């Protein structure tokens, strides 16, 4: 079931040349974005491997683990700029947690009742909330910006 991935890794390892790359974000960027497979965060901002720390969450929301990652990253991993990157046509912006939980139940019967996913039909309000949360956190030692990526044009708009 995973043979294709192992074969791909073998091809990757043949020309691997990143052994001496430091673990710091060379361009000082931390990006929180959605796990949507249409997003390639480094490419969106013309960044290379090693330039940024990328954290992916459903809907690109500021989850507790992402928040911790940004705090640590801003102190020891070279992050001095944080981009909260939402995107158009996001499934997590198509409803609230209740509707997403119901969709999962209808799809395969799994009960996610009580799980906090972070879905919101008001994606911009969610983005503004997450940006504000980071900006007022004294443990986050970085500038914070909210942006929206358009999956149809590839363009990014700075919104907060």
Give the pLDDT band (50/70/90) at residue 118. confident
Query: Is 33 marked within a binding site?
Result: no
Average pLDDT over residues 87-106: 93
Give the pLDDT band (50/70/90) at residue 158. very high
Query: Is 34 marked within a binding site?
Result: yes
CA distance 122 to 54: 24
Rounded mean pLDDT of the chain?
A: 96
Query: Is 145 marked within a binding site?
Result: no
Query: Is 90 marked within a binding site?
Result: yes
Beta strands in the chain (DSSP E): 29-34, 52-57, 81-87, 143-149, 156-158
User: Do the domain assignments include residue 106?
Assistant: yes
Average pLDDT over residues 22-47: 97
User: Do the domain assignments include residue 121?
Assistant: yes
> What pLDDT shows up at residue 83?
98
Question: Residue 151 contacts by C-beta under 8 Å, 6 or more apart in sequence?
Answer: 36, 38, 39, 87, 88, 89
> What pLDDT shows up at residue 16?
97
> What pLDDT shows up at residue 140?
98
User: Do the domain assignments include residue 6?
Assistant: no
User: Do the domain assignments include residue 11?
Assistant: no
pLDDT of 57 strictly over 90: yes
> What pLDDT shows up at residue 160?
87
Average pLDDT over residues 110-117: 92
User: Do the domain assignments include residue 7?
Assistant: no
Expressed as residue numbers, the domain containing 57 is 21-156
CATH number at residue 149: 3.40.1050.10
User: Do the domain assignments include residue 13?
Assistant: no
User: Do the domain assignments include residue 9?
Assistant: no
> What pLDDT shows up at residue 24?
96
User: Do the domain assignments include residue 136?
Assistant: yes
CA distance 38 to 130: 22
Number of domains in the chain: 1
Average pLDDT over residues 106-124: 92
Residues β-bridged to residue 143: 81
């Amino acid at each position: 079931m995973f043979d294709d991935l192992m074969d791909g890794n073998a091809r990757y390892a043949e020309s691997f040349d990143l052994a001496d790359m430091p673990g710091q974000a060379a361009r000082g960027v931390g990006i929180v974005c959605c796990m949507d497979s249409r997003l390639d965060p480094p490419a969106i901002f013309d960044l290379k491997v090693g330039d940024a720390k990328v954290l992916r969450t459903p809907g690109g929301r500021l989850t507790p683990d992402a928040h911790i990652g940004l705090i640590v990253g801003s102190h020891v991993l070279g992050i001095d700029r944080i981009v909260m990157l939402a995107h158009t046509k996001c499934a997590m912006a198509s409803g609230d947690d209740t509707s997403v939980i119901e969709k999962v139940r209808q799809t395969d019967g799994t009960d996610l009742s009580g799980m906090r996913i972070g879905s919101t039909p008001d994606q911009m309000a969610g983005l503004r909330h997450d940006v504000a949360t980071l900006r007022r956190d004294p443990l986050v030692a970085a500038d914070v910006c909210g942006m929206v990526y358009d999956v149809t044009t590839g363009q990014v708009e700075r919104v907060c």
